[in-house]
A and B are shown apart, each in its own frame.
Chain A
Amino acid sequence: MRHQPSGALAMFWIWMTVVVGGFLAMALVLLSGR
């Protein structure tokens, strides 16, 4: 990642956040028993 910022790593983490954030939201709803 010593190259000029390409945004590729940001894209990776954005999509990873979508998935992991989605799972966390699902888990919270399930734990709340709704």
Chain B
Amino acid sequence: MGAMRRVLRDNRLSLFFLALFVLAIVGQSVAGFLRANEELAQHGMAPQGYLSFVLSSDFIVDVAENWQSEFLQFLLFIAATVWFVQRGSPESKLPGDEGVGTDEDQKVGRHAPDDAPEAAKTKGWRLVVYENSLVLVMGAIFAVSWLMQSLSGVVVANRENAQHGEPALTWGQYVTSPEFWDRTLQNWQSEFLAVGTMVTFAIFLRQRSSAESKPVGAPHVTSAETSE
């Protein structure tokens, strides 16, 4: 097999989702653009161009509010599975394994093998940063996305307020407004529902050969076997 074909095969999962992401966000931008122009027409206003819509707070607020909730979902999933278990779920460690584990289990410091990431062989703050780097990065993306949602949301809300002759909101007023929390919580509830169902359904249900499933014949009560 050629090197290029091997690289494509080895990374197909990432590339598959990259293609889906590009298609979906382009689709969102086109649909949002058409909808925005429908609303402009209903108010007797001239239509705007596609680029003008994509480079507007209207598009950003819709993108950012979904980004923040997805990254919050993974942030909580990654962090909560350190401390909480669900017996029988392939997404969980085994009951009794709660907590951050020993340096030996985690192969850090003097327990790090030769081929360990260099940061895993360190100690002190560098090790603390690396051993929490997934949560730190997902958390940073969540925080920035939520900030972007609020900054673009207040622009959109104030444009509507101006059209109705109402006073403009400050950022502080917007992030305590029902609209901000409506946009935020409608996304959060769906993420928490999806995680909760995934964790529990996967105890009893199977997808043959999926990395997210136990083997079809595995008993219901076993947790992920990789957790020892």
Interface residues of A (CB under 8 A from B): 5-8, 10-11, 14-15, 18-19, 22-23, 26-27, 29-30, 32-34
Quick check: is B14 within 8 A (CB to CB) of the other chain?
yes
The 7 closest A-B pairs by CB, nearest first: A7-B7, A11-B14, A7-B11, A26-B148, A34-B56, A26-B60, A29-B55
Name the contact of A26 in the complex, choosing from B14, B15, B152 (C-beta under 8 A).
B152
Count of chain B residues near A, Cβ 8 A: 23
Contacts A14-B18, A23-B144, A23-B148; A30 near B155 (Cβ below 8 A): yes
Question: Residue of B at shortest CB range from A11?
Answer: B14
Knowing A23-B144, A23-B148, A30-B152 touch, does A8 contact B11 (C-beta < 8 A)?
yes
Task: Find out whether the CB atom of B56 lies under 8 angstroms from the CB atom of A29.
Answer: yes
Kindly state the separation between the CA atoms of A6 and B14 in the bound complex, as whole angstroms. Answer: 13
Q: How far is the CB of A16 from chain B (nearest CB, A)?
A: 9
